[in-house]
Amino acid sequence: MVLSELISYETLRFIWWLLIGVLLVAYAVTDGFDLGVGMLLPFAGRDDHERRVMINSVGPVWEGNQVWLILGGGAVFAAWPQLYAVSFSGFYLAMFVILVALILRPVAFKFRSKREEPAWRARWDAVLFASGLVPALIYGVAVGNVLQGVPFRFSSDMHIFYDGSFFGLLNPFALLCGLVSVAMMLMHGAAWLQLKTAGPVAERARRYGSWAAVATLVLYALAGVALWLWIDGYRVTSALPASGPSNPMLKTAALQPGAWFVNYAARPWLWAAPVLGLLGALLALVGLRARREVATLLASGLSIVGIVLSVGASMFPFILPSSIDPRASLTVWDSSSSHLTLFNMLVATAIFLPLIIAYTSWVYHVLWGKVDADAIRDERGHAY
């Protein structure tokens, strides 16, 4: 027996759907507080010293946090090539804007303190704010569009055509999802600042973080209601073998009101995801007001986990529905790489993912504790 045949094609597809979810959650939780701190920079930091304290709270870890984004992009490319082709071509301008923001962020980190002129540092502070806000907003907008369906289709020879536009992505529901993303990352960034800083910065972070937690609760609930009342979901209307060929055009699919809630009706335990999203934000709000530092960060992280997982739980088995040709929609069962490719990738992941997790955990352990504000003021032992 060939070693790869020990795990069925259906199982491998499902495992890789779960692993993509894990990578997305890991990125949202880790880089989420980086983006949140950037957005809070003009508000929680009132002078140059306070802003340097905030920057140094994320300075040693932000580069490592972005590893999860790189891993996620690589995994999509290798495990779900059709998803990669459609999303990275259809969302090209949106992806380009995100990349510009993510490229400018390290430049701002490195160059901000090279000169002492207030105008110089103010410009880089504006870059750090924008490089936090823009990705957070566009991530949510992208999710909102995926839930509504993306305007793509396949020709008879499986050539991909995207019939949408950049500004077409900025529809009301997608913008609402974008605001959910911004609010939850602001909440997470405030929780991080409460843990890593002290004094006025931490106090302001608690205040803004409390408002962000309330906004997360309200906006996420509104998005759920809007999804139920006004956004039609998708369902497969033909046979879809879980171990069938990777050809989306072999099935039929259709729009159906309330389809994104069918999985919750069939498997009530899936309600744990949206409940966790709401409960985590509520506990983060309580923790911010009660100054419970570690508990607040864990609660805000769990809220992000619940919100992200609720999208996957709603859409399964769809991973990218098509709004103009539902038959072309990509699902877990008809858009993956080959059985052998998925198996070989799984072996590599089983080896290297635990190493990445262990190293990341060690880094956070070494860097545990609050930023020394006096050391930054006295030019001792700071990075930025």
Phi, psi at residue 157, to the nearest 5°? Answer: -100, 20
Spans of the chain, pLDDT less than 70: 1-4, 378-383
- How many distinct helices (H) and strands (E) make up the chain? 14, 6
Measure the CA–CA gap between 308 and 216, rounded to whole angstroms: 13
Cis omega (within 30 of 0) for bond into 317? yes
For residue range 142-163, what is the model confidence (pLDDT) as tens digits? Answer: 999 999 999 999 988 888 888 8
Q: What is the pLDDT of residue 165?
A: 84
SS3 174: helix
Task: Say which residues have a Cβ less than 8 Å from residue 29's Cβ, sequence separation at least 6.
Answer: 188, 301, 304, 305
Measure the CA–CA gap between 61 and 101, rounded to whole angstroms: 18
Helix axes 9-44, 339-366, angle to 10 degrees: 30
Which pTM value belongs to this model? 0.94
Q: What is the pLDDT of residue 379?
A: 64
Measure the CA–CA gap between 331 and 319, rounded to whole angstroms: 5
Q: How far, in whole angstroms, is CA 302 from its chain's centroid?
A: 13
Measure the CA–CA gap between 262 and 259, rounded to whole angstroms: 5
For residue range 80-128, what is the model confidence (pLDDT) as tens digits? Answer: 999 999 988 888 899 999 999 999 998 998 898 888 899 999 999 999 9
Beta bridge partners of 108: none
Q: What is the pLDDT of residue 100?
A: 94
Beta bridge partners of 253: 236
SS3 55: helix
Q: What is the pLDDT of residue 62?
A: 85
Q: Which helix (H) or strand (E) holds 233?
A: strand 232-236
